[in-house]
Chain A
Amino acid sequence: MNIIIEMMSYPFLVRAFVVGIIVSICASLLGTSLVLKRYSMIGDGLSHVGFAALAIAYPLGIAPLYVSIPICIFAAFILLQIKESSKIKGDAATALMCSGALAIGVMTISLTTGMNTDVCNYMFGSILAMSVNDMYISLGLGISVLILYVLFYERIFAVTFDENFALATGTNADFYNMIIATLTAITVVLGMRMMGTLLISSLIVFPSLTSMRVCKRFKTTVILSAILSIMCFIIGLVFSYKYSVPTGACIVIMNIIVFIIFYTVEKLRESR
């Protein structure tokens, strides 16, 4: 407990806590739908696009969030348009987007600021990245993601479970898919600088996959994944502070451990 109080005396760590917790909640809520709809890779694709956007925003001197959020929303829109019937399938398109955006980002950085520690921070995240302004923007956007999710919960469930049925009953499934994608884009950008481009998608897939091991209801799955996500974030952050190791990696490793525990519980239950 002492260590948390000690951490709270640093303003940048307080900011990291606040933003981290809100991003963890948003990512886990949306993650449940994305994983079940077989869009697990969308977080990866979007974070790489966000990386390219950040790389372009910095030398231009524009606040990175303002550039990367619209670009990521646009990318999410494109990814969703690519459906089963199109010539390039969804997974291939995501792969193209990942490597393409990464190349653009790396090229921009090396031509402008040059390859330095910043690049490492983009890739693997840094808790020092949050300014006060960023925190307020993150807080505002994060809370709106939460509110929208709760408001549209029943519809999001229906669209996730069976898109065709939802469409047949007159629900505009494309609209709700778009909402899910937009909210995901915002969440990815908000969490990216702390977690890193390469690690942010773990916040989307791990908590929901973990809670799916044991939950029977959609609602409990969503709630449990949010709780697990916050827990892993806090423990990961404390651990990274104490042992001076990268934050993003710590959080992901916590998620892996929890996943293994839940997976074992599931297997034990089945074998009984």
Chain B
Amino acid sequence: MTSLETRKTTGGAPGRRASRNAPSANEQKQMLRKLILLREFDLTCERWWKAGEPLVGEFHLSLGQEGFTIGTCAAVKDDDLICPSIRGMGVYLYRGVPMVKLIASFFEREGSISGGRWAHWHSPAMDVGILPQTGMLGAGLVTAVGVALTQKLNKTGRVVVGMLGDGASNTGYFHEGVNFAAAKQLPIVIIIENNQIAVSTSIRDTARVENLSDRAKGYGIPGQTVDASDVFAVSEAVAAAAERARSGGGPTLLELKAWRWGGQTLKDPDRNRTAEQKESYRKACPIEKLKADMVARELISEDEFASVVTAVRKEIADAESAARALPKLDGANYPDPVSAFPVYATL
């Protein structure tokens, strides 16, 4: 995983990129590949959906906001812990959760990430440091705060990243979680993935602050807003915040801004936004932006870009085939479901 910790941290105004060391060609190539992987994975899900494939679960796509998860994952250490938001597929893909395990849960097969027990976007992958997103919106943040408490008490040197959407940032959980983390100076980076809209409600209608990171001041912690169409601006800000957390400086509130291109989920027709609006959001594309930068610096050609896309598509198609080959979940295999799916206490 790329470590960006040695880079200078930003101290600039919210939403603006301060000067920094340029990322290396390798870092740029790796970042571009991860962005493309998430984009193509989402587009594949969308294609299945449109083809009438019976998919299990909700699909909160990251189209247009890939910079949130990819930039964040690139900035932290491999053994740092991340609690993704509901739109966190990028974290699973970046950290190498086998795609077949993800797709198996969509197709209701054996061997999926959740074993059919939980929503795929709630399921933990502790072997790669992905925490369960647990219950309601915002609940992931408070449990992440508790995981950070463990890191502090056990002096593990690990940092926790708690990610949640702009909508969840209006819950009581957000206030309590951020304040708790701030009061106890916990090693956590709190990231608001502001895609400007919660299901159908604009954040403009539910919050008065210009930038959601402005709230940091009220908790006595640093806050920063970053334009997430620039994935390296994201990773730079997260790296600085993670370093602050690791060195005992406590939490940071980062607001990453982008636009949600599609509906809340694949099922949401997103009728409340005009076609013009939606078209305008697509101008801020993290992939196009990075690609243009790399082409200008002659780090990648159009052909090379196309070959990355082809390779990623093949990887996804192979995972799809492998998932389809897995046996379907069958209730008949579980004649005693209480024993098959144990809880701690039955009556």
State yes or no: do A and B come from one complex.
Answer: no
